[in-house]
Amino acid sequence: MKLSLITSGLLDPKRLDSWVPEKRRAIRKAVEAGMKTAGKEIAQSAQSRMQSVFKVRKAGFVKSMRHKLYAGSPEKFPALLVGSRISWLGIHVRGGTIGGRMLIPLLPEHQRIGRKAFRRVIDGLMRAGNAFFIEKNGKVILMAENIKDNTAELRRFKRAERGRTGAKSIKRGQEIPIAVLVPSVTLRGRFDLPGLVRSQMPKLSTAILQQLNAQGL
């Protein structure tokens, strides 16, 4: 997310052009320093919000939210970027529909499984020839039998099935629901990064003003 500041007074671009080069450089340096300071705090606020919105399993997910200052060209005003390199985070910011057939694991919310781990489950079931689809109540369900060869792959799905049915155990050979096949998934936007950044604008303005005052500008 790139931030644009509407500047006035000392930082009005027209007025800035009228300053001698030395003063322009001093003002620019102060603005850059203010952006660096506030940018770090804004990114930290975004990280805190991520922890409250998502069930974070890996610290790297939160740490992916960073700030970066773009101040390479002396002819352009500095720009501050706050964002993450994790591409799929965008769908949680904007909301939208993901197309293409997908398998959605049939697990309760507190037993979520990562994409790679789920892929290993499917691969293990396929290698054992223990994966098949059925249609039930208008839905296409991926099933697997409770066999010894797939004990590791089926562990969490057996636990989920016991939770759904109230059964104390799953018999050997019993069919277990693994996932539902869907044509698309629609997600609501639940991480309002633009709104959070906008709410931090006073902090950014204050940081820049402090740097300008420190330089006697």
Q: Is the distance from CB of 102 to CB of 181 less than 8 angstroms?
A: yes
The pLDDT value recorded for residue 55 is: 82
Quote the tokens at residue 47.
Answer: 């990280």
The number of beta carbons lying within 10 Å of the beta carbon of residue 61 is 16
CA diameter of the chain: 83
In this predicted structure, what is the pLDDT of residue 2?
47
64 in the Ramachandran plot: left (φ > 0), alpha (ψ -120 to 50) or beta?
alpha
**Contact in structure between 92 and 192 (CB atoms under 8 Å):** no
Tokens 């620019």 belong to 28
The structure's pTM equals 0.67
Could you give the CA distance from residue 40 to residue 29 in angstroms, rounded to a whole number? 17
d(CA 77, CA 60): 31
List the pLDDT tens digit at each of the 217 positions of the chain: 444 554 555 555 555 555 567 777 888 888 899 999 999 999 999 999 999 999 887 889 999 999 999 987 777 788 999 999 998 899 999 999 988 889 999 998 778 888 899 999 999 999 999 999 999 999 999 999 999 999 999 999 999 999 999 999 999 999 999 999 999 989 899 999 999 999 999 999 999 999 988 877 6
pLDDT of residue 185: 87
Cβ atoms of 147 and 128 within 8 Å: the answer is: yes
Give the pLDDT score at 105. 95
Q: Which residues lie across from 104 on neighbouring strands? A: 180
* CA atoms lying within 13 Å on the CB side of residue 69: 18
Domain ranges of the chain: 2-93+189-214, 99-186
